[in-house]
Amino acid sequence: MPALILDGVAIARHVYASLKPRIAALVQCGVQPGLAALQIGGNAASRLYVRNKVRACTEIGIYSEVHQLDADCTETAALTMLEQLNRNPRLHGVIVQLPLPPGFDVRRLLQSVAIEKDVDGFNWSNLGGLVDGHGGLKGLTPCTPLGVVTMLDHAGITIEGRHAVVIGRSPSVGKSMALLLINRGATVTVCHSKTPDLTAHAFRADILIAAAGRAGLVTADMIKPGAVVIDIGINRLPDGRLAGDVTFAAACERASWITPVPGGVGPMTVAMLIANTVTAAERTAGLRAPSAVV
C-alpha cells in the first residue's frame, strides 16, 4: 500500500487556526506580536523565504518588518541593526535570514539576537535548553525540528519507544531534531557523512529523518517497510526543480507515512516561526503559552 502523505500545507493551516485565539488574547491585552527579519545581500532563495514569512504574518495578524542590508555592508552595521531590533518593544521575534554572504561571522550574528526574541531557536541558551530536556530557555525551539514533531503528533504517529534515525548533524536541524526526539522518549541514532554503512543504520529506523542536503541520498532499499519517512532536505536540481534527500516515488512503496518536497516540512518551518513569535509575545505580556502548538 502506498505511503500516506504528511501534508505540511494542510497541517500548517491547523497550526495557524490554533494560533488565532492566542493572538486575539494578546491583542486584547494591547499586544500585537511582531517579527523582524534581517536579510543581508540579495540571495534569491532567501528573498523568497522572507516573502513567505511576511505573507504568513500578514494573513494571521502579526506585525512584521524586513530590514535589508547590502552584501558589502560591514558586520558592525549588521550588529548595530540587530541591537536596534532587540531594543524595539514592538518586536517579539528577530531572525537573521540565512545564508549570509561570505565574510560574515554567522555564529556572532545569530548569538547577537536577544534570547527572548530568538524565535529561530538558534541561540546557544535556547539550544542548551533542549539538552536539559525542557525545550528552549524561553520556550523557543528550532523551527524545523519543532515542525517535524508537530506533524508527527498531528498524524497520531507514536514517537515514544520508537527507533528514530536522523541523517544530518547541523545544530539547528539534525542535532536539535535528535534532542527533541530523545526528549519525547525515542531511541535515536544520528548519522552523517562519516557514518559507515548508512544503509544498515537507516534500515533499522521506525522513523527515518533525512536532513543531509543531498538529493536522492535515501533510496528505497534504506527504508524499512512501514517506516515513517520525513524528508527535510531541499535541493535544487539542474533542471530547476526542487527535490528532497529521499527518492520520493520509490520510497512511497516502502514507507507508511512520508513528507513530500516541496509541501512537507517547509511550510511547517514557517508555521513554527510564527508560533514561536506568538509564544515570545505571550511571555512578554505575562500570558501562559500552551505546552503544545496544536
- Which tens digits make up the pLDDT trace of 84-131? 999 999 999 999 999 999 999 999 999 999 999 999 999 998 998 888
Give the residues of the chain that fall short of pLDDT 70: 134-139, 289-294
Which among 31, 22, 28 has a CA at the least distance from the CA of 274?
A: 22
Q: What is the pLDDT of residue 135?
A: 54
**Which residues form the domain of 94?**
28-129+267-282
The count of structural domains within the chain is 2
* Joined grid coordinates for residue 217: 541520498
**Same domain flag for 174 and 100:** no
Rounded-to-integer distance, Cα 74 and Cα 291, Å: 40
CA-CA-CA-CA dihedral for 174, 175, 179, 182, to nearest 10: 60
For cell 520556550, the residue is: 139
Q: What is the pLDDT of residue 139?
A: 67
**Same domain flag for 66 and 50:** yes
**Same domain flag for 82 and 104:** yes
**Same domain flag for 211 and 227:** yes
Walk across the sheet containing 163-167 and list its strands: 4-5, 257-258, 228-231, 207-210, 163-167, 187-191
- Which tens digits make up the pLDDT trace of 59-88? 999 999 999 999 999 999 999 999 999 999
Rounded-to-integer distance, Cα 272 and Cα 230, Å: 16
Q: What's the CATH code of the domain at 234?
A: 3.40.50.720
Which among 4, 11, 62, 58 has a CA at the least distance from the CA of 266?
A: 11
For cell 530523545, the residue is: 182
**Same domain flag for 101 and 169:** no
Cα torsion 125, 109, 31, 22: sign: negative
**Full-model pTM:** 0.94
Q: Is residue 98 part of a domain?
A: yes
For the chain, strand residue ranges (E) read 4-5, 34-40, 63-69, 93-96, 163-167, 187-191, 207-210, 228-231, 235-236, 242-243, 257-258
Identity of the residue numbered 14: H
Q: What's the CATH code of the domain at 120?
A: 3.40.50.10860
Q: Residues 270, 293: contact at Cβ < 8 Å?
A: no
**Same domain flag for 121 and 148:** no
**Same domain flag for 47 and 114:** yes
* Active site positions, annotated: 53, 97, 120
Q: Is residue 290 part of a domain?
A: no
Q: What is the pLDDT of residue 132?
A: 83
What is the end-to-end Cα distance of the chain in Å, rounded?
29
Q: Is residue 173 part of a domain?
A: yes
